[in-house]
Structure 1
Amino acid sequence: MYETPNFESKFQNRWTATPGLESSSYTFTVDKSQKTDGMRIKASIADGTSTDSVETGIAIYDSIPRIIEYPKDFSPEEGEEFMFSCEFNYWGSGHSEFQIFLNDKKIHYKFSKVIFIDGLITLKANLSASKEMNDNNIYCQLSLHRTDGKSSLHFKSQPIKFQVLYKVNDINISSEIGKTEIELSCSAVGNPPPKYEWRKVINRKMFLFF
């Protein structure tokens, strides 16, 4: 026999359960949630002369994590370390875990710390700039792992982008020989974008020409 649960007094008039009839599961709706809600909740069902009660852990959480610290006003050089911070609001039970992603690929970092104060959890991590980070999507993800063994909840932040300075590499030179002339081509990558010069060696001496 299933009946709509009755809430403790502190949850009444703010928490409701639907449907209002016999069911194997119920949906709980919270109106004007309080921080103290996100801990333990107790619901009971009266059956004749006896009352069955169930207590379970719950968590109240924000919509998405927020990235609050990254290279906004400067461009780090490849290999340079910088601080990356992400925060999320939640209260209640369950284990939380932060991860950082670059284009959906997890970023590994050497040092980090997680601070949890009054419902605000913050990740602070030292990341090393790489050329793969240059102008690509980086986001953080917070996972709430449920204590009942069921699937976890995952929340992604909005992605951010920034510039990474790195040395010129992948230099390639090609030539195409025509009937009356030779066309030379040079390509390379780097940030800032590379500038090109053509030099010719004559009698072991190098001369600049364009």
Structure 2
Amino acid sequence: MRSDFERILKVNQQKEVRSPLNSRRPIPIPAFLAGIMIKLFKVKEKQRELAENANGKPPVKKQSAGELRLHKDISELNLPKTCTISFPNGKDDLMNFEVTIRPDEGYYLGGAFIFSFQISTMYPHEAPKVKCKTKVYHPNIDLEGNVCLNILREDWKPVLNINTIIYGLYHLFTEPNHEDPLNPDAAAVLRDNPKMFESNVRRAMAGGYVGQSFFNRCI
């Protein structure tokens, strides 16, 4: 006869074989335990953030690829003296800024024109949104500030940068184009009567009416 010890050993071995700890199937976790584990994970994550920011400041936001590229573009700006850039929301918000253009030649000599730039996190795969905040009598800028510049639309490519756009905007003031207008009336005057166009531009920049539209002084 087998000893009591042998019988007990055999029973224990059978229990081990049937034990869920030795099974390959995952052991289901009760819902209430899963909830507790999630809460513990969140607490640990919060403690980690507080430890990394012991000075009491909020955690540093990780920059997107678009922000990193824009930061590079801004640091490499090489603008003419007629163009300046400013950050109304402070330099912590690089994704929204303004550019002021003061043409030193052409019809718009002496004027100051402000453009807002709104950059998405998809930059440079998506072109910046640019609007003219200064109401201007111009064939390629409508009275709502929309700008007709090919590199902001179908000709945009990720290899282009902020510097390229600003030079493109400056070019609109030195060489306005009547062939691709956003303001058809101004384009027609430029095409048919350049002297009258020049007079209208000067009147608008000085502050006054051109046709039915009023323009604030920007000179």
Q: TM-score range by the shorter chain?
A: under 0.3
TM-score (normalised: structure 1): 0.28
Q: Which has the higher strand share?
A: 1
Q: Which has the higher helix share?
A: 2
